[in-house]
Amino acid sequence: MADPNLLIMVGVVFCLAGFVKGMVGLGLPTVSLGLLSIIVDLPTAMALLVMPSLATNVWQALAGGQIVALWRRLWRFLLMAVVMVHLGAQLSTLVETQFLHRCLGALLLLYAISGLMTKPPQLSPRLEMILGPVCGAINGLLTGLTGTLFVPGVMFLQSIGLPRDALVQAMGILFAASTASLGLALYRHDLMPLSLGILSAAALLPALIGMQIGLGLRQRLSQDLFRQLFLIALGGLGGYILIA
């Protein structure tokens, strides 16, 4: 990793991935992992993701000024999402997850396509209260099993009628909590080495720069255009997961 050309390429990758995350609120791990796997081996790529993913999610969770209101509304959903990560991590050593991972990708792709063709259904407050903990538990379990942070959590958050910036902040809270819980679970089960931590920390700066640029662009988008770009990004992530 001391090769200057390689460091520049890694910086460009994280800047681009951060830009996507800043604009639509998700995608940094998937975008960066897909591009990094072209220039470095997969274990190095996964290690490089840890700090940029966690730090950008924390930033996203704190930005927007609605964290207290979102926590009061979503705490059951978020609590189950965090707790169930540990069960999923335990099961990941016993279950073949490749097929499940592809199914999640297909689900994301179909959801995005249907959302672009028709307006997604909105949950009533009663259904939101009932389905929140259920979706949180499933999201946490699948995060521990596959490392995928956003199924079905992102779908749930979009279905409860959050406006653009609140949706992005709510996803940041979910991703930050899930990433921290996943890192702890993997460490406890000896599934994540710490040897590349300093390289992961160095990758944080370009990711934050890209995220800030994407955030500036997002603030110029209308609600409808943001929704379309969000669904396109979600479909792209699902397609990548499906074929990767």
Task: Check: CB of residue 55 under 8 Å from CB of residue 175.
Answer: no
Task: Check: CB of residue 199 under 8 Å from CB of residue 69.
Answer: no
C-alpha distances out from residue 50 to 94, 149, 179, 194, Å = 24, 13, 8, 10
DSSP-derived letter for residue 40 is S
| pTM for the full predicted model | 0.82
pLDDT at 192: 53
Q: What is the mean pLDDT of residues 28-52?
A: 76
Q: What is the mean pLDDT of residues 15-19?
A: 92
**pLDDT higher than threshold 60 for residue 126:** yes
Q: How far apart are CA 51 and CA 202, in angstroms?
A: 9
**pLDDT higher than threshold 70 for residue 231:** yes
pLDDT at 97: 65
**pLDDT higher than threshold 90 for residue 31:** no
Q: Is pLDDT larger for residue 46 or for residue 141?
A: 141
Domain regions of the chain by residue span: 4-243
Q: How far apart are CA 70 and CA 171, in angstroms?
A: 10
Output the six-digit token pair for 183.
């890192």
Q: How far apart are CA 176 and CA 195, in angstroms?
A: 22
pLDDT at 124: 92
Task: Check: CB of residue 45 under 8 Å from CB of residue 33.
Answer: yes
Task: Check: CB of residue 31 under 8 Å from CB of residue 155.
Answer: no
Picking from 15-29, 86-100, 206-220, 230-244, which range would have the lowest pLDDT averaged per residue?
86-100
Note the maximum CA span of the chain.
56
What φ, ψ does residue 194 adopt, rounded to 5°? -105, 0
Nearest 5 degrees, angle CA 208-CA 213-CA 217? Answer: 140
Task: Check: CB of residue 158 under 8 Å from CB of residue 218.
Answer: no
Q: What confidence tier does 106 reach under pLDDT thresholds 50, 70, 90?
A: confident
